[in-house]
Amino acid sequence: MNPFLNPTTGLPLLKHFLFDESRLRRMSIKQVERYRDKALKKIVKYAYTVPIYNKKYKELGIHPNDIKGIQDIKKLPYITKKELAENFPDDVVPQSYNKNRAQIVSTGGSTGKPISIYTDFYLFSESIGAPLRLFHSLNLNFRKLKMANIGTFFPNRAGHEVQKAVYSKLPFFSNFRNRLNINAFDPIKEIIDKLDDFKPDFILSYPVTFQNLAYLKNKGYGKNIKPKILESSGYILDEYTRRYVQDAFGCRMLSVYGSVEGYSEAPIAFECLEGIWHINYDFFHIETINENMELIGPNKRGHIVVTKLFGRCEPIIRYTGMDDWVTLSPIYKCKCGLCTPIFKDGVEGRISSSVVLPNGIIYPGASFDVVSLVLNEFKPRKIKRFQIVQKKIDEIEILLVIDEDLRNVGPSVDLLFKKIKERYDKKIGSDIKIDIREVEENEIKSSPFKPAPLVISYLTQEDREKVLY
């Protein structure tokens, strides 16, 4: 039976749809904290029936009754990506769990070996308030919004499985007909033609996909594409790409942060119209740790640790496998109306894609990007794409793709190269070899069926450990 028409599943969904989005606005901070305490206790009690967690908790002498609220989460052990992978498929859900009602989705493997995660309709139902909150913060009417998602729609990937399990069962809701899914790895001219026909109000995709679309938009394609908001996900959005795309489409471009492990349809955090990265902290509990797996205080950069406070299926509690750098700040009262913890500097990139210097300094991708700072000083925007590649501990390449139509307009390419080199020398010193090269677009590297990242590092773990420890 269609779960939306089944009263035992449809009515709870309706309740979540109507009330969860507004929870952070209608509740006081103390009320939200009580809600979070209750949600954690519930999810830990459930996790105790899951073999992987049951074993870890018993080894440490932990019982669900020991967890009274969020303040006790420090008593619980971390769970790693390797552990989830090794215990799939039987030990990551209760033995009584009906796997036939679940979908299996796989991560993209951007932090190493891909892993598979169980999701089900209840996860969608209990998390629906999170995406609704994002739309509300952007002043978008979810019911009337025409949304285009340019993502990864292959079997077992999140977009494909959610479409099959959820959105395909909603033909009777007219607003869900206003959803267009496009594979990001289709030819870019086909993508822009589909968008031109669809005329979306809202587009979600990867930064590099937006950059390619913006290039075509500047060349006269997609005249009917006039979105209200562009939403970037999956990779770091550098400031040059943001401005390049915003100039082309004439609207704001913001970021959203989510994961397959946390459930891809529910953003962990998102950027509001004020440019503040709000954490959906009634749906997720976020911590940060250092290289020694020790908790660190607020306003200090660390590795993200995620706990999912909703749903059942496959619980995610103190998960360290996201591999991202963030700076967690306490409750922030924003002009947009939300009062939440925030990511002070957004999501700064993958730990594995950070730049490591001989003196032991680590730069997450976003903080090493001085290319955007230089390029944003000049117009026209003649750089189509760029990528930072660390080849050795003391050797870094900056690869730039030039728009041939603008090559001889404005400041010379040689001047741009010179300014970028000067800025890097000032930031990291002249002892590090910085090689700035013009390349063809096909020389910007990416893995199969993944967008090209901002930073690629060829350092081995041994290379890193030599200078870090």
User: What is the pLDDT averaged over residues 267-293?
Assistant: 96
Residue 295: phi, psi to the nearest 5?
A: -60, 140
**Is it the case that residue 162 has pLDDT exceeding 80?**
no
> Could you read off the pLDDT of 183-236 as tens digits, one per residue?
988 999 999 999 999 999 999 999 999 999 999 999 999 999 999 999 999 888
CATH code of the domain occupying 7-350: 3.40.50.12780
What's this model's pTM, rounded to 2 decimal places? 0.88
User: What is the pLDDT averaged over residues 81-94?
Assistant: 94
State the pairing for strand pair 284-289/301-308: antiparallel
User: What is the pLDDT averaged over residues 53-64?
Assistant: 97
**Is it the case that residue 169 has pLDDT exceeding 70?**
no
Core vs surface per residue 415-433: b (16+ CB within 10 A) or e: ebbebbbebbeeebeeebe
Q: What does the DSSP assignment read for 113-149? A: S--EEEE-HHHHHHHTHHHHHHHHHTT--TTT--EEE
3-state class (DSSP) for residue 444 = coil
Lookup: tokens for 205: 């995709």
Residue among 107, 194, 118 nearest 149 (CA) = 194
> Could you read off the pLDDT of 312-343 as tens digits, one per residue?
899 999 999 988 999 999 999 999 999 999 99
Distance CA 268, CA 34 (A): 20
Average pLDDT, the chain: 90
Of 117-126, 167-176, 403-412, the one with minimum mean pLDDT is 167-176
Distance CA 285, CA 315 (A): 13
Domain range list for the chain? 7-350, 354-468
Distance CA 318, CA 379 (A): 45
**Is it the case that residue 263 has pLDDT exceeding 90?**
no
**Is it the case that residue 81 has pLDDT exceeding 50?**
yes
Q: Which of 102-106, 122-126, 141-145, 410-414 has the highest mean pLDDT?
A: 410-414
* Portion of the chain with pLDDT greater than 90, in percent: 69
Query: Residue 182: which H helix or E strand, with range?
Result: strand 179-183
pLDDT at 161: 46
Lookup: tokens for 350: 């993958």
**Is it the case that residue 116 has pLDDT exceeding 80?**
yes
Grade residue 77 by pLDDT with cuts at 50, 70 and 90: very high
CB 317 within 8 A of CB 261: no
**Is it the case that residue 173 has pLDDT exceeding 70?**
no
| CATH architecture, domain 354-468 | 2-Layer Sandwich (3.30)
Distance CA 265, CA 162 (A): 8
Distance CA 230, CA 413 (A): 29
156 or 79: which carries more pLDDT confidence?
79
> Could you read off the pLDDT of 412-454 as tens digits, one per residue?
999 999 999 999 999 998 889 999 999 999 999 887 777 888 9
pLDDT at 172: 43
Grade residue 268 by pLDDT with cuts at 50, 70 and 90: very high
Angle of CA points 158, 159, 160, to nearest 5°: 95
Q: Which of 10-24, 107-121, 164-178, 274-288 has the highest mean pLDDT?
A: 274-288
User: What is the pLDDT averaged over residues 56-85?
Assistant: 97
Query: Residue 323: which H helix or E strand, with range?
Result: none
**Is it the case that residue 158 has pLDDT exceeding 80?**
no
Distance CA 190, CA 181 (A): 13
Distance CA 342, CA 29 (A): 14
- Give the count of alpha carbons within 13 A of 466, CB side only: 11
User: What is the pLDDT averaged over residues 337-356?
Assistant: 90
| DSSP state, residue 298 | T
Lookup: tokens for 292: 């020694």
Grade residue 166 by pLDDT with cuts at 50, 70 and 90: low
Cis peptide, bond prior to residue 3, ω within 30 of zero: no
